[in-house]
């Protein structure tokens, strides 16, 4: 970490603590840098540290340059350091199309390796490790380049699954593989038949099927990590809503309900899921147990940002909602509440903090991203 950022963190006790959080008292005092945000979001939970303690060997995070991969790699590194396992490697693999993510990883003590995961020779040269987390894939730009999305989401998994056949693998997937479910119900369970809505969701089903195939073929332990939606200061459905409110733009409430989970909690669960990987591949929904109304969230942001929320559309009877009760049974509730998420994000947006500039398009109902 740069000395300037380290000094800011030492000077602000709120940043030193977990995002569960005394952060609320002073988060509005300064605009957070990328390194500081990662320091907050990557705070390993006690359960994540306990899981790392039981997991022997090195860790590989594939797709570490993306919005969640950085947090996950840093969290594993911090958990290992806390346990005194400084010699255990965390290898963060990515093309690093966002060079700043590589810089942040290296500042926070993670080893990085540039690799095009669509290149069979480069994948074959990757170091082996018993613990693998697969976050590579494409969502944004699918509408304009569907072939690239299918390449990233189905061909790359085949290369990775064959190379890491002896590892346990947590494969990041999405709740978009499910059909829309009634808003007055609990949402899709792991047993709900899948729905093919657009190239992105369909290619994500393809990714799961590829890993499922190799799990059965090689006996590889796999867990399909069906996530929706992870949020942090700079990205996610809550940020999308907050930005629209802050700009005075109307919020579309047609897709009127959603689940979400703090990115730090999602990453902690991913680490814990390594212990639950199985052959045949296991499936687990990762999100909040409660549903959130877009209209209510927007009104709350309006109160915090001093801008009345405006709306368009009318709530449909269905939405992309997942039933996360099984993950709650395994791991308990996430540590970060929706109120905390809203407060942190409102502070960040009000200060003009940096955003990743990738709207989730959660309101899209045709699967086009």
Mean pLDDT on 76-80: 98
Average confidence score pLDDT of the chain: 90
Q: Domain holding 69: CATH number?
A: 3.40.50.720
Distances (CA, A) of 154 to 158, 204, 222, 347: 7, 8, 16, 39
The answer to whether position 139 is within a domain reads: yes
The answer to whether position 240 is within a domain reads: no
The answer to whether position 169 is within a domain reads: yes
Do 105 and 118 meet the contact criterion of CB atoms below 8 Å apart? no
The answer to whether position 350 is within a domain reads: no
pLDDT at 318 over 60: yes
Residue pLDDT, tens place only, 112-170:
999 999 999 999 999 999 999 999 998 766 677 889 999 999 999 999 999 999 999 99
Instruction: Identify the residue whose tokens are 């995002």.
Output: 19
The answer to whether position 43 is within a domain reads: yes
pLDDT at 18 over 50: no
Residue pLDDT, tens place only, 206-235:
999 999 999 999 999 999 999 999 999 999
Range of the domain at 9: 3-231+262-288+320-336
What is the total count of domains within the chain?
1
Spatial distance between the Cα atoms of 148 and 143, rounded to a whole number of angstroms: 10
pLDDT band at residue 33 under the 50/70/90 scheme: confident
The answer to whether position 293 is within a domain reads: no
The answer to whether position 357 is within a domain reads: no
Spatial distance between the Cα atoms of 161 and 147, rounded to a whole number of angstroms: 21
Spatial distance between the Cα atoms of 202 and 13, rounded to a whole number of angstroms: 45
The answer to whether position 295 is within a domain reads: no
pLDDT at 19 over 90: no
């Amino acid at each position: 970490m740069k000395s300037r950022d380290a000094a800011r963190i030492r000077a602000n006790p709120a940043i030193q603590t977990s995002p569960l959080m005394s952060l609320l008292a002073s988060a509005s005092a300064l605009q957070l840098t990328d390194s500081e945000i990662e320091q907050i979001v990557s705070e390993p939970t006690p359960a994540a540290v306990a899981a790392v303690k039981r997991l022997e060997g090195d860790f590989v995070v594939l797709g570490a340059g993306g919005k969640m991969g950085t947090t996950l790699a840093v969290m594993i590194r911090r958990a290992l350091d806390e346990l005194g396992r400084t010699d255990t490697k965390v290898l963060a693999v990515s093309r690093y199309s966002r060079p700043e993510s590589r810089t942040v990883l290296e500042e926070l003590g993670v080893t990085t390796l540039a690799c095009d995961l669509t290149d069979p020779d480069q994948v074959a040269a990757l170091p082996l490790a018993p613990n693998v987390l697969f976050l590579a894939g494409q969502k944004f730009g699918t509408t304009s380049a569907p072939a690239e999305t299918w390449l990233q989401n189905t061909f790359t998994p085949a290369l990775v699954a064959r190379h890491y056949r002896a590892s346990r693998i947590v494969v990041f997937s999405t709740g978009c593989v499910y059909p829309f479910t009634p808003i007055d119900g609990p949402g899709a369970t792991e047993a709900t038949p899948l729905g093919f809505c657009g190239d992105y969701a369909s290619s994500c089903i393809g990714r799961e099927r590829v890993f499922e195939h190799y799990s059965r073929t090689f006996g590889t332990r796999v867990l399909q990590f069906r996530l929706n939606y992870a949020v942090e200061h700079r990205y996610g459905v809550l940020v999308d809503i907050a930005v629209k409110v802050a700009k005075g733009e109307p919020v579309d409430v047609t897709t009127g309900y959603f689940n979400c989970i703090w990115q730090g909690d999602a990453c902690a669960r991913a680490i814990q899921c390594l212990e639950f990987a199985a052959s045949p591949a296991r499936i687990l929904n990762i999100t909040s147990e409660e549903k959130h109304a877009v209209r209510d969230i927007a009104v709350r942001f309006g109160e915090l940002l001093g801008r009345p929320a405006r709306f368009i559309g009318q709530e449909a009877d269905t939405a992309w909602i997942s039933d996360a009760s099984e993950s709650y049974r395994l791991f308990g509730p996430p540590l970060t509440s929706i109120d905390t998420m809203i407060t942190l994000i409102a502070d960040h947006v009000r200060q003009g903090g940096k955003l990743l500039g990738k709207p989730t398009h959660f309101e899209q109902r045709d699967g086009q991203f």
